Amino acid sequence: MNIISRRGFLSTGAAASALALGACQTTTSTTPAAVPAASPRMTDDGRVIATTRAEPLSPVAERYGIGPISYEARQDGPHALRATGMSIIPSEFHRDVVPYPTRLRPGTIVIDNPERKLFLVLPDGHALRYGIAVGREGFTWRGTGTIYRRAQWPTWTPTANMIRRDASLSRFAGGMPGGPQNPLGARALYLMSGGRDQGYRIHGTPEWWLIGQYVSSGCIRMVNHDVIDLFNRVPNGTRVVTI
């Protein structure tokens, strides 16, 4: 289990937030203090201690062959995957197998905007749940879509409108290469909706402490370790439904 100091993740957040504001990168907070936490661990001098320990999976997960994943730092292809302080993220947003009665086919992704959760439908009335961060009021994506592209450590490119709003983003006009500071995180699932790519993604984020909040301009953010897990479970052609 890794222990992450508050100073460490604040410096990461400041760097990531400096890139603010794409269709998939708008934040309302740059510090983990905005995330509610029940009795977080503290150092003697009052600093928050985050650990990588997630809530245990429900026993029913074993029925589906789903096991726990590690949120510790590790190498992921060409890049270092940073640790996630799961102890700071409220437990309702931790990955787990939960009851989920639905008529949707197994393998369908359901994005529950009001609950800030993503569900991968499993057989027999269950789903694999992940916590997410979703669009702020007026920016939330609604409708249905299909995953048509999947990318590891994707490139992030600001739109022309974003560059007009913030000229400093022009340095990324040719694309910001994938890496630990990239707003799209370790993986991205690109959605086709209404017959075209409207700019919506399910993707990772370097700002893991914002999971469970309304912070983006429409895209669906996940903890990097969780989006890697989801990426490995869903192929192109997967149906995505928002509620």
Q: Is 203 a catalytic residue?
A: yes
Q: Which of 24, 94, 126, 219 is catalytic?
A: 219
Tokens of 158: 């600001």
DSSP string, the chain: --EEEHHHHHHHHHHHHTT--BTTB--S-SSGGGS--SS-EE-TTS-EEEE-PPPPPPGGGGGGT------S-EEETTEEEPP--TTTS-GGGS-EEEE---SSPTT-EEEETTTTEEEEEETTTEEEEEE-BEEPTTT---SEEEEEEEEES--B---HHHHHH-GGGGGGTT-BPPSTT-TTTTEEEEEEBTTB--S-EEEEES-GGGTTSEEESS-EEEEHHHHHHHHTT--TT-EEEE-
Active-site residue flag, 24: no
Of 101, 191, 86, 174, nearest to 131 (Cα)? 86
Catalytic site residue from 24, 94, 126, 203: 203
Q: Which residues are catalytic?
A: 203, 219
